[in-house]
Structure 1
């Protein structure tokens, strides 16, 4: 059996380098997607006052990462959502974007965690996921 090296993927190289991270890492048949927040293509935070739009932006970014790796929302097998708003706001303004992203799929295993805060006060949500994409 031949060991293959992990493949590191950068969508916003300068920002990711400054945080010592990779937006996604392929290891065999799995693509680990981590630390997705609502940022523009330069890594600037967007929608600071709108948690719903942040959630939408996160899933748009996840879709881009998946597409680059030949996948889609149906390939996500595990997801972790960290949100910094009250549960009611999550359910009303954020959850509909998640429902739309996973529309017509069985949906992954998921855990949601309400957090006290993030590195920046502008961040309202951060999502990590694992996709199964056989090579």
Structure 2
């Protein structure tokens, strides 16, 4: 009989995640699933409204906190899916990812969507 791996849950902003009903990240075995990143403060308020470049940086700062919690870095990321409501502006600022991924880029998809959970 194979013993099931016990998931390890991580809440970046416990009050907000509890209110919305999700965990920011879950580690099962060697896999870490991250729900995503939104440019927000610790009270859940969107920050850097109208400044997508800063929003991108804020998101990667949150992702780094999660990776660090699990003893990982961006070098360990193998899949990254990006959802944006403004693909042309995202493409203008996507070069910032060169500062994040210094060895190789992960696979993934970039998707333009009508709206996200938070504006």
- Alignment TM-score, normalising by the size of structure 2: 0.92
Distance 1:83 1:60 in 2: 17
Distance 1:63 1:46 in 2: 18
**Shift in alpha-carbon separation, 1:2–1:86, aligned structure 2, 3 A:** closer
Q: Measure how far apart 1:79 and its partner are.
A: 0.8
Classify the secondary structure of the residue corresponding to 2:36: strand
Distance 1:52 1:114 in 2: 16
With a CA cutoff of 8 Å and minimum separation of 6, indicate the structure with the bigger relative contact order.
Answer: 1
Classify the secondary structure of the residue corresponding to 1:109: coil
Q: Measure how far apart 1:3 and its partner are.
A: 1.7
Q: Where in structure 2 are there 5+ consecutive unaligned residues?
A: none
Superposition pairs for residues 63-102 of structure 1, below 5 Å?
A: 63-87=64-88, 89-93=89-93, 95-102=94-101
Q: Measure how far apart 1:2 and its partner are.
A: 2.4
Q: Where in structure 1 are there 5+ consecutive unaligned residues?
A: 122-135
Which one has the bigger strand percentage?
1
The answer to whether the 8 A contact 1:59-1:97 is kept is no
Q: Measure how far apart 1:92 and its partner are.
A: 1.5
Classify the secondary structure of the residue corresponding to 1:35: coil
The answer to whether the 8 A contact 1:6-1:28 is kept is yes
Count of residues paired in the alignment:
118
Which one has the bigger helix percentage?
2
Task: Say if 2:50 is the partner of 1:53.
Answer: no
- Alignment TM-score, normalising by the size of structure 1: 0.82
Q: Measure how far apart 1:97 and its partner are.
A: 2.1
Question: Would you identify which runs of 4 or more consecutive aligned residues in structure 1 move more than 6 Å?
Answer: none
